[in-house]
């Protein structure tokens, strides 16, 4: 025989052996499947106590508890029914759907591991929520944003005395025209006393500005401190405009009629009284007076809130947060 003939014979022999091995493997697999089917059928007959050809949830539970010598929760048995029921109704198992006791055991073990992992995940999530709640409470303790007490309500109206006293300058025409009016007399006396205090306006401004930055003071009080400062600043502009207009008028040779000056001052003073009155009444009712155009919005933007603290508890003002969002 030639060398090529020998090689061909060896190849054929190997192919024959491979086919034989595959046949034996298939036979073993078929025998294994048959053994499993036989075992499943035997178990099915044992579980089917009423011999109706169907394994109900109660029969499955009783059979597995007898086989494993332990009690099984109803939800796990129902999960087994859902996993192995091919028809989708999960009400019973037929012989074709039934598996061996070992397969049920493996599935139950997998369900137990899954439930344990879910329990661990829930415990972890609960712990995280608890820590988040504690952190939020710690932040809220730093910022007194709770409802104002009766004392807070009373204290919250005092800052408005600052712009009110500074605004008395616009009531001079009311005082001059009504010298015998007791209200006019009180206004004149208050203005004189306020002006007699050296640097009274600066002291009031810096005191309110400093105290409004203390987060432990109730929010209503802090808000009114800031709003009182803004109202007082707003009073500066009418006087500045009037001074500039008067300067330009003198340079050009004309002056604003006295009646117009008087009406302007009276309107400003009445507007101030209405604004301060609204703020005080609202504060005494425990309601934040945040409906003053422009001013209230500016104050709200300066008020520290809980969301201005990062996860490390550091203060992060609103404008910095807005920049982070834009980035």
Is 80 within 8 Å of 104 (Cβ atoms)?
yes
For residue 315, give the 3-state DSSP assignment.
strand
Q: Note whether residue 83 is domain-resident.
A: yes
**Token output for 39:** 């075992």
Provide the CATH number for the domain around residue 65.
1.10.238.10
pLDDT of residue 50: 85
Asked whether residue 298 falls in the same domain as residue 195, the answer is: yes
DSSP 70-138: S---HHHHHHHHHHH-SSS--SEE-TTT---HHHHHHHHHHHHHHHHHHHHHHHHHHHHHHHHHHHHHH
Residue-wise over 197-225: b if at least 16 C-beta within 10 A, else e?
eeeeeeebbeebeeebeebebbbbbbbbb
DSSP 262-287: HHHHHHHHHHHHHHHHHHHHHHHTT-
Residue in this structure with the two tokens 């091919």, named with its chain if needed? 86
Is 246 within 8 Å of 257 (Cβ atoms)?
no
Asked whether residue 175 falls in the same domain as residue 109, the answer is: no
For residue 298, give the 3-state DSSP assignment.
helix
Asked whether residue 51 falls in the same domain as residue 196, the answer is: no
pLDDT of residue 249: 62
Strands 55-56 vs 92-93: parallel, antiparallel or unpaired = antiparallel
Q: Which among 87, 122, 157 is the end of a domain? A: 122
Measure the CA angle with vertex 26, ends 20 and 32; round to 5°.
135
DSSP 186-221: HHHHHHHHHHHSTTHHHHHHHHHHHHTT-TTS-HHH
Task: Say how far residue 320 (Cα) sits from the centre of its chain.
Answer: 18
Asked whether residue 158 falls in the same domain as residue 89, the answer is: no
The low-confidence residues of the chain, meaning pLDDT below 50, are 319-321, 324-325, 327
Asked whether residue 13 falls in the same domain as residue 106, the answer is: yes
**Residues comprising the chain, all counted:** 327
Asked whether residue 190 falls in the same domain as residue 56, the answer is: no
Q: Note whether residue 170 is domain-resident.
A: yes
Residue 240 structural domain: 147-326
Asked whether residue 187 falls in the same domain as residue 260, the answer is: yes
Asked whether residue 172 falls in the same domain as residue 222, the answer is: yes
Alpha carbons 256 and 25: distance in angstroms, whole number: 114
Measure the CA angle with vertex 155, ends 150 and 290; round to 5°.
90
Domains contained in the chain, number: 2
Nearest CA to 168 out of 230, 224, 232 is that of 232
Q: Note whether residue 204 is domain-resident.
A: yes
Asked whether residue 103 falls in the same domain as residue 158, the answer is: no
Q: Note whether residue 141 is domain-resident.
A: no
Is 39 within 8 Å of 104 (Cβ atoms)?
no
pLDDT of residue 307: 64
Q: Note whether residue 264 is domain-resident.
A: yes
Q: Note whether residue 115 is domain-resident.
A: yes
Asked whether residue 165 falls in the same domain as residue 274, the answer is: yes
pLDDT of residue 314: 57
Residue in this structure with the two tokens 């029914």, named with its chain if needed? 81
Q: Note whether residue 137 is domain-resident.
A: no
Asked whether residue 62 falls in the same domain as residue 204, the answer is: no
pLDDT of residue 324: 47
pLDDT of residue 263: 79
Q: Note whether residue 134 is domain-resident.
A: no
Asked whether residue 155 falls in the same domain as residue 249, the answer is: yes
CA atoms within 13 A on the CB side of 154: 2
For 176, 178, 232, the CA distances from 184, given in Å and listed in that order, are 8, 6, 21
For residue 143, give the 3-state DSSP assignment.
coil
Task: Say how far residue 282 (Cα) sits from the centre of its chain.
Answer: 28
């Amino acid at each position: 025989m030639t060398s090529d003939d020998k090689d061909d014979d060896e190849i054929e022999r190997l192919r024959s052996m491979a086919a034989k091995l595959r046949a034996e493997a298939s036979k073993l697999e078929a025998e294994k499947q048959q053994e499993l089917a036989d075992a499943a059928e035997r178990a099915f007959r044992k579980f089917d106590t009423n011999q109706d050809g169907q394994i109900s949830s109660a029969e499955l539970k009783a059979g597995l508890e007898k086989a494993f010598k332990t009690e099984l929760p109803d939800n796990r048995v129902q999960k087994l029914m859902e996993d192995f029921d091919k028809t989708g109704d999960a009400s019973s198992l037929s012989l074709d759907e039934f598996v061996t006791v070992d397969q049920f055991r493996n599935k139950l073990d997998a369900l137990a591991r899954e439930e344990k992992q879910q329990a661990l995940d829930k415990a972890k999530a609960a712990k995280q929520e608890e820590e988040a709640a504690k952190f939020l409470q710690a932040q809220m303790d730093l910022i007194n944003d709770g409802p104002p007490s009766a004392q807070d309500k009373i204290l919250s109206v005092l800052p408005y005395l600052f712009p009110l006293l500074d605004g008395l300058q616009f009531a001079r025409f009311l005082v001059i025209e009504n010298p015998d009016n007791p209200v006019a007399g009180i206004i004149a006396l208050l203005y004189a006393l306020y002006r007699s205090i050296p640097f009274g306006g600066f002291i009031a401004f810096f005191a309110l500005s400093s105290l409004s930055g203390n987060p432990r003071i109730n929010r209503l009080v802090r808000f009114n401190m800031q709003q009182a400062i803004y109202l007082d600043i707003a009073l500066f502009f009418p006087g500045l405009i009037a001074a500039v207009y008067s300067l330009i008028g003198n340079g050009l040779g004309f002056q604003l009629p006295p009646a117009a000056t008087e009406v302007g001052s009276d309107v400003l003073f009445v507007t101030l009284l209405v604004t301060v009155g609204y703020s005080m009444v609202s504060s005494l009712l425990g309601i934040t007076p945040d409906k003053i155009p422009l001013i209230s919005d500016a104050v709200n933007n300066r008020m520290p809130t809980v969301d201005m603290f990062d996860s490390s508890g550091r203060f992060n003002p609103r404008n910095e947060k807005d920049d982070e969002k834009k980035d």
